[in-house]
Structure 1
């Protein structure tokens, strides 16, 4: 790909208005919805911009359709299109391919949840072919670029492209039209930076006093690293759990647009994201994917600053796989300090487990995981035990009893290699 002079292609408001006309019959004007619960919790006016209610359940349809439609007008899609995506961009591309009758090839990580694969197939309706490649978005992106160069298919970048940014920026125009009052804080989820760049493009001109806060997963904090370094930085490793925002390197174009206009970029722990997902489902009846809950999970870090302010959180998307529910619950409990794993040393005599339950566990503690093999040639044998607490503050007492009675061998929660086997 030719990356020269990318910064000369910075989108303008005129370009964004053109994109909005292209998208008029494609995207929904999604609800601008006040959250009574969150407003009360933070003593602020908390408004949710519900992009999870788009046809493909995320804002990604805006940029993908705008880009492909403009290529279509220029007769540059005769050999089809190709893209790389962890899921939501792929659905936007698939939607556009079917609507415009264009063949598309979509590279996705092998770790992509099955639900997202099925959604891409559904929206493409025979016009797209999925190729699973690599473990991360960046692996898939490199394969898609190679495919583009070999076969001449137009590469549809998920974020680092002017027309993609212009499409995402139409969301900013919509927000400003729907807002009754001046927006003090705008919370924006960030992966590669396409949406963030779109928000900056519009807000820096039409609402410059609005503080733009970017929220990204702590395990893939590539924008924060780039802002700190003053240039784009490629992370060596990332946590892929928040798959919709797990990017090793933000775009050069998106970074250039964002770097001087965002107020802050904060990292949100994956466990906090999971806690928020469950909370929004149980209390708001909203089904979100991890990336869709980023901005809501970030609010706690700004609780003091947003008090009494008008706050907008972009919520996108809702392509969550139900098979991930147990992992989401587990991560949330670990984050809240309610779930703990130990290697426990048991005497090899009858009744030792009963003694452990009666004298080590608290009245409301529960064993949720137990793996033990008796070895007759030893006086003691180890077991991996998962314990769920009713209150995080009960942990110190549990640990003290376990040590004083000789059961404690090691604590696993802080050992990533072991926890990867358990969670």
Structure 2
């Protein structure tokens, strides 16, 4: 299957614009995982991403007549930079359609290279639709970000470099998957020459189009995708990339946002470089695979695919990294409301490093404490809760509670006993300028809002916690209202974090 791609990859025209990126060991990560971890540093390309390889290899093969009509691309950012750079060198006009949720750093980078940027929709799929409209109107040539043999071959040169740079045994190569171009290209080359090397794709849990497609045996269209790892936020993988991946990829590993944030931190500690979420995806997958398989003493390669990170996202990354690495626990403890009990509770915590401490009087009999602690592993959390309960205190592990992680720890005000019939819901919407205002307008004035918490996470989904006073007699009208808003929502009225600290 991959035979026809071997020559394409060997003859790909990528080195007019790309460098042979280093294959560097990650010493700290290698030591922690008891395996040799090698990072293929595509973040060191001139556009800080591997995407220039495929874009240039495609465009340099266009005829003078095709270049003269100009090119159009749809991209979440990194492919756009590759197309813009290629257009600059080949002296042709380029128009790039990008989702409105694209980080500003990617938009600015594309504009600086002379390409016209058109922002449209919240996902790659919507930007792609706009690109198709422009092609129909102008006759320009479309440069696909992944589903094109020349693009796939350009990305496949990464696999060629990996085998050249490390000639010893390799157990597995971990590759991020969005539309599948990088995974298809790398797998086509490596499986042709070293079929014993595992090729493992990695996707976010909320953008798992390839994993679902491989399980179904056909391409699956996702109804929506997460946008934290915007570089892989693709609803439908490519037809050609799926054909290649289903026969060449050994499996697809899924990771969540916390695991991605932890991987960004891991790479920073080893290299002092900051990867974007999609760029750290393969490292997160590598770590999950090692833990699942109990793997030791093997050589593992992860493609660090990009570093186009908006600075304002780093706060969110740093907050979630400790949770993703299971190095922070969040617990709720109920202590007696009497002199000395607060001091006794602190003594039980001992010398543990405290990351957060919130105390709120509940009533004359009890007080609730919200505390974050640095831990070595989840077992330490279980041991601590057991110790607290043995001392007569009620303790609850909130480490995996989204309300606790995203909202309660930042809210002020405590309990509101005078608020009656409060229903609490969590909503999500794509983060972009004006998104919060749009949400508030849709909320309207139907019910009194008694609690509201929103925090900008920098191009992840906006997350809002809303309390509304809904008398029992109006419940039948309330459900249709929620459905009419058009946002994903979850009922959190019975969430223990809300009940303990806010209800």
Q: Tell me, yes or no, whether TM beats 0.5.
A: yes
Partner of 1:3: none
1:390 to 374, 378, 383: 374
2:93 to 77, 95, 103: 103
Does residue 66 (structure 1) correspond to residue 57 (structure 2)? The answer is yes
Does the aligned pair in 1 maintain the 2:48–2:306 contact within 8 Å? yes
Partner of 1:16: 9
Equivalent runs, 1:275-290 vs 2, <5 Å: 275-290=262-277
- Separation of aligned partners in 1, 2:235 and 2:322: 27
- Bigger drift between 214-223 and 303-312 goes to 303-312
Partner of 2:40: 49
Does residue 30 (structure 1) correspond to residue 18 (structure 2)? The answer is no
- Bigger drift between 261-270 and 391-400 goes to 391-400
2:299 to 294, 299, 310: 310
1:87 to 77, 80, 105: 77
Does the aligned pair in 1 maintain the 2:172–2:197 contact within 8 Å? yes
Does the aligned pair in 2 maintain the 1:238–1:246 contact within 8 Å? yes
CA positional deviation for 1:339: 5.7
2:318 to 321, 326, 329: 329
Please give the root-mean-square deviation of Cα atoms over the aligned residues, in Å: 3.6
Does the aligned pair in 1 maintain the 2:53–2:151 contact within 8 Å? yes
- Separation of aligned partners in 2, 1:250 and 1:133: 20
Partner of 1:255: 242
1:216 to 200, 203, 206: 203
Does the aligned pair in 1 maintain the 2:278–2:306 contact within 8 Å? yes
Write the deviation string for residues 205-251 of structure 1: whole angstroms up to 9, x where unpaired.
21212111111111211111111000111112222101111211111
Does the aligned pair in 2 maintain the 1:52–1:318 contact within 8 Å? yes
Does the aligned pair in 2 maintain the 1:10–1:257 contact within 8 Å? no
- Separation of aligned partners in 1, 2:107 and 2:207: 22
Does the aligned pair in 2 maintain the 1:11–1:162 contact within 8 Å? no
- Separation of aligned partners in 1, 2:66 and 2:231: 28
CA positional deviation for 1:105: 1.0
CA separation of 1:407 and 1:258: change in aligned 2, threshold 3 A? closer
CA positional deviation for 1:165: 0.5
- Separation of aligned partners in 2, 1:270 and 1:74: 44
CA positional deviation for 1:369: 8.9
SS in 2 for 1:259: helix
CA positional deviation for 1:333: 3.4
Write the deviation string for residues 150-192 of structure 1: whole angstroms up to 9, x where unpaired.
2212111111111110111122222222222243311111111
SS in 2 for 1:77: helix
- Separation of aligned partners in 1, 2:262 and 2:29: 14
Instruction: Tell me the TM-score normalised to structure 1 length.
Output: 0.82
- Bigger drift between 228-237 and 40-49 goes to 40-49
Does the aligned pair in 2 maintain the 1:60–1:92 contact within 8 Å? yes
Alignment length, in residue pairs? Answer: 400
CA positional deviation for 1:93: 0.8
- Bigger drift between 26-35 and 88-97 goes to 26-35
CA separation of 1:160 and 1:341: change in aligned 2, threshold 3 A? farther
Partner of 2:226: 239
CA positional deviation for 1:63: 0.3
SS in 2 for 1:219: coil
Does the aligned pair in 2 maintain the 1:339–1:386 contact within 8 Å? no
Does the aligned pair in 2 maintain the 1:51–1:314 contact within 8 Å? yes
Does the aligned pair in 1 maintain the 2:14–2:54 contact within 8 Å? no
CA separation of 1:39 and 1:276: change in aligned 2, threshold 3 A? same
- Separation of aligned partners in 2, 1:57 and 1:26: 12
CA positional deviation for 1:253: 0.9
- Separation of aligned partners in 2, 1:136 and 1:275: 25
Partner of 2:257: 270
Does the aligned pair in 2 maintain the 1:211–1:262 contact within 8 Å? yes
Partner of 1:320: 309
Write the deviation string for residues 43-76 of structure 1: whole angstroms up to 9, x where unpaired.
33322211111111111000011111112x3521
CA separation of 1:107 and 1:340: change in aligned 2, threshold 3 A? farther
Does residue 114 (structure 1) correspond to residue 104 (structure 2)? The answer is yes
Does residue 201 (structure 1) correspond to residue 194 (structure 2)? The answer is no
Unaligned runs of 5+ in 2: 407-424, 429-453, 458-503
Equivalent runs, 1:147-162 vs 2, <5 Å: 147-162=134-149
CA positional deviation for 1:337: 6.8
Unaligned runs of 5+ in 1: 1-6, 347-351
- Separation of aligned partners in 1, 2:294 and 2:53: 31
Partner of 2:283: 296
CA positional deviation for 1:418: 3.6
CA separation of 1:58 and 1:385: change in aligned 2, threshold 3 A? farther
SS in 2 for 1:279: helix
SS in 2 for 1:249: coil
Which of structures 1 and 2 has the larger relative contact order (alpha carbons within 8 angstroms, sep 6+)? 1
- Bigger drift between 151-160 and 383-392 goes to 383-392
Does the aligned pair in 2 maintain the 1:191–1:244 contact within 8 Å? yes
